[in-house]
Chain A
Amino acid sequence: MTYTARLRVWRGDAAGGALTDYEVDANEGEVVLDILHRLQATQTPDLAVRWNCKAGKCGSCSAEINGRPRLLCMTRMSVFEPGEVLTVTPMRTFPVIRDLVTDVSFNYAKAREIPSFTPPPDLGPGEYRMKQADVGRSQEFRKCIECFLCQDTCHVVRDHEENKPAFAGPRYLMRVAELEMHPLDVADRVAEVQDEHGLGLCNITKCCTDVCPEGIKITDNALIPMKERVADDRYDPLVWLGRTILRRGSRQARE
């Protein structure tokens, strides 16, 4: 079944732009990215859209549809009414480059600020022994396809440009959690996640979890456990007392 889809696509660049109306053929079973591709092929060859695998695995085609951050390739046309006008805009937390393409370098910069995996110095390749039970938590976070929709939707930076320097965003706070929970990482990351990466700015309103196309429980499994570890280190006199008496570091206390 072919019908006419009605789209309002934001066209423009950093200097300005506007929502532009289009009518495009749509077929049964298509996703929004298919419609945008047909728009490119038939009406607007220079419409800028970033995409890659078109199977929800690379996280390139992040944008906002009817005001909600989504992957264009994972949003089926059938979830909308046939006559409904679909408004498609670029992600609104990052600087726009052109049309639906934004400059996501903020995320790559944040990635660099997190100290890398730190294995025990005496452990050689092939000697790593880790139980499945111990890698499960970090494996969940490594499902991340880096679509940056969580970074886009997070109000800490979406609504407050001035917080960008101090806040790593859900994706990278989760990266710290991934390393912190890695069974062979020996670095202590708790103080840093609070002081350097802005975990305290997170008010756990869960938009990152809601928007995650991989279904990662970012808030419950990464952010809150990290807040609890910070509470262990900073706000729990019982833990502090026990640690002082036993003269153990915070990392050892979690072994």
Chain B
Amino acid sequence: MTAATRGVEAPGRAEVGARTLRTDRWWLPPAATTVGLLIFVVYATVRAFQQQYFFADERYLTPFYSPCVSLGCASEPGSAHFGMFLPDHPLLPYAAISLPFLLAFRLTCYYYRKAYYRSFWLAPAACAVPEPHATYTGETRFPLILQNVHRYVFYIAVIVSVINTYDAIVAFRHPTDGFVVGIGNLVLLVNVVLLWCYTLSCHSCRHVMGGRLAHFSKHPVRYRIWTWISALNTRHATFAWITLGTLVATDLYVLLVASGTITDLRLVG
């Protein structure tokens, strides 16, 4: 089919002339999404391969290095809570067993799919704005059919969230000072709470917990869980962005403390 007969210019449809008549700044949300996602990707890539400043003496482990399972983690004693077995190689991030899944979790997330289909692939950039592609097959073929693995990476993301939670909790126990609360502890805690909000508000989680049932009334507990998750789910996009921000902020905080740029403020102990 030629470009002239595609879409809103297909034969039989009103010959309006303009491809879109939208007068608002429809390009702004996809542009902002692009910028936001790119900033995160660049920052996260740099940090994942940096292999230093990931663990502060205050026992703060950045989520980008959790779980720290590379032999290289030995450079920061106490950072590896689950053993060290991956070879120490500059191209292998220290948290190489979790990062690919976290990436996959966000890549296949129903919200992020919308975000990058709109901003990177322009399919569509905004509602009622024609997309530039000649053909469209949606998520029916490889590779996009792989989006269906979302629920597996969700299962793994839950495990990683548990590990992050463990990291945040053990950080309260200083090897010498006992129970402590520093600003960094609060940062880790807030980050982990918001990560749970993002993870549990996932559409797959909502489905697995109760959405797949035909009769809620026969499963009162799962129905209640489904109701809670549904309420969280309405804010899934918000949590998706907030957690990108808190991940960067948490990591940056650990980086700054670990590099000695700033000093963590001890509140308790």
**Do A and B touch directly, given a CB cutoff of 8 Å in the complex?**
yes
Chain A residue at smallest Cβ distance from B118: A205
Query: Roughly how many angstroms separate A217 CA and B230 CA in the complex, as a whole number?
Result: 12
Cross-chain contact B139 with A203 (CB below 8 angstroms) = yes
**B15 sits at the interface (CB 8 A):** yes
A203 pairs with B117, CB closer than 8 A: yes
* A interface footprint on B196-222 (CB within 8 Å = 1, 0 otherwise): 000000011011000111111110000
Kindly specify which of A36-44, A50-58, A231-239 makes contact with the partner chain.
A231-239
Nearest-neighbour CB distance to chain B for A194, whole angstroms, equals 9
Tell me if A153 is interfacial: C-beta within 8 Å of chain B: yes
Q: Is the CB of B14 within 8 A of A10?
A: yes
Contact B233 A220 (CB under 8 A): yes
Q: Are A16 and B15 in contact (CB under 8 A)?
A: yes
B241: A residues at CB distance < 8 A: none
CB of A69 within 8 A of chain B? yes
Chain A min CB distance to B203 (Å): 5
Find out whether the CB atom of A160 lies under 8 angstroms from the CB atom of B148.
no
| CB–CB A95/B124 < 8 A | no
Contact residues in A for B214 (Cβ distance below 8 Å)? 134, 181, 183, 251, 254-255
A92–B140 contact, CB under 8 A?
no
The reply to whether B20 and A255 form a contact with Cβ atoms under 8 Å apart is: no
- A96 CA to B149 CA, complexed, in Å: 41
Cα A155 to Cα B206 in complex, Å, equals 27
- Say if the beta carbon of B234 comes within 8 Å of chain A: yes
A68 touches B10 (CB 8 A): no
Which chain A residues border B223 with CB–CB below 8 Å? 133
Residue among A102, A206, A234 with the highest chain B CB neighbour number at 10 A: A206
Count A-B pairs with CB separation below 8 Å. 172
Query: In whole angstroms, what is the CA distance A157 to B4 when docked?
Result: 16
User: Is A90 in contact with chain B by the CB < 8 A criterion?
Assistant: yes
List residues 175-208 of chain B with CB under 8 A from any CB of chain A: 203-204, 206-207
- Partner of A95 from B12, B110, B139 at Cβ < 8 Å: B12
**Is A255 within 8 A of B215, CB to CB?**
yes
CB <8 Å contact, B21 and A64: yes
CB proximity of A117 to chain B, nearest CB, Å: 14
Min CB–CB distance A123 → chain B (angstroms): 15
- Complex alpha-carbon distance, A205 and B147, angstroms: 14
Which of A26-34, A107-115, A222-230, A240-248 lies at the binding interface? A222-230
Say yes or no: is A207 at the interface (Cβ < 8 Å to chain B).
yes
- Check A133 against B216 for contact (C-beta < 8 Å): yes
Indicate if the CB atoms of B1 and A161 lie closer than 8 Å. Answer: yes
Interfacial chain B residues near A200, Cβ < 8 Å: 138-140, 145
Report B-chain residues with C-beta under 8 Å of the C-beta of A201: 136-140
Interface pair B128/A231, CB less than 8 Å apart: no
With A68-B127, A93-B8 as given contacts, are A163 and B110 in contact (CB-CB < 8 Å)?
no
User: Using a CB–CB distance below 8 Å, which chain B residues touch chain A?
Assistant: 1, 5-8, 10, 12-18, 20-24, 110, 113-114, 117-118, 123-124, 127-131, 133, 135-140, 144-145, 148-151, 203-204, 206-207, 211-218, 223, 233-234
Contacts A204-B110, A225-B206 known; 16 new A-B pairs at CB < 8 A: A10-B14, A96-B13, A136-B216, A153-B127, A156-B138, A158-B7, A161-B10, A198-B138, A198-B140, A200-B139, A201-B136, A201-B138, A203-B139, A203-B144, A211-B127, A255-B214
